[in-house]
Amino acid sequence: MKTEIHEVRLFRCFGVSSNMNAFGLYGVMLMAKNGEAYEAAKHEPPVKGSDVVLPLDESGEINWARAGYEIPRRLTPDAPKAVVKQVFA
């Protein structure tokens, strides 16, 4: 089954764990400009402060597997505007 990329969503990496888990994955914290935030795991994490473009599937959901991330977890509630401003400064 082939999954196509329909759109993308921009996030900023605002944190990366300094150690990896038993499977060699690092924890990565990602935030969008609307305050939507996730914690996910990746073998080769992005650099803290870098922008990360994540592909969306046909239903508009983030295609974590295609982006190379595992174990995504939505952080709720969304980040306050002051925190978003600081992350994207």
- What is the share, in percent, of the chain residues with pLDDT greater than 70? 94
Cα gap 44→67, rounded to integer Å: 11
Reply yes or no on whether the pLDDT at 76 is more than 70. Answer: yes
What pLDDT sits at residue 36?
96
Q: What is the pLDDT of residues 34-72, one digit of tens each?
A: 999 999 999 999 999 999 999 999 899 999 999 999 999
Q: With beta carbons less than 8 A apart as the criterion, state whether 40 and 62 touch.
A: no
- Rounded to the nearest integer, the mean pLDDT of the chain is 93
Cα gap 27→39, rounded to integer Å: 7
Cα gap 84→36, rounded to integer Å: 9
